[in-house]
């Protein structure tokens, strides 16, 4: 990610400390202020498909496996 998007993710994390896992952040680019958040979806989104292709594994599958392991305890 770009430094601006990394900073945006850090601001979202600071604003919503209980938020964990895969989330979708919808935003628009404003010409004067940069990225402006429209909504935050606390669930995996269609972007997981692109991420999975980029990193050659399934982040949604890994998250599900982690939660499943916690349920079985």
Global pTM value: 0.64
Instruction: Give the per-residue pLDDT at 73.
Output: 57
H helix and E strand count, the chain: 3, 2
C-alpha distance from residue 73 to each of 20, 57, 61, 68 (Å): 20, 25, 19, 9
Instruction: Give the per-residue pLDDT at 21.
Output: 77
Q: What tens digit of pLDDT does each residue of 32-62 get?
A: 998 899 999 888 788 888 888 999 998 888 8
Q: What is the mean pLDDT of the chain?
A: 85
Higher pLDDT, residue 45 or 25: 25
Instruction: Give the per-residue pLDDT at 53.
Output: 92
């Amino acid at each position: 990610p770009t430094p601006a998007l990394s900073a945006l993710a850090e601001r979202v994390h600071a604003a919503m400390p209980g938020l964990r896992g895969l989330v979708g952040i919808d935003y628009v680019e404003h010409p004067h202020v940069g990225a402006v958040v429209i909504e935050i979806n606390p669930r995996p989104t269609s972007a997981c498909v692109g991420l999975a292709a980029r990193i050659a594994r399934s982040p949604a599958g890994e998250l599900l496996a982690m939660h499943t392991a916690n349920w079985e305890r």
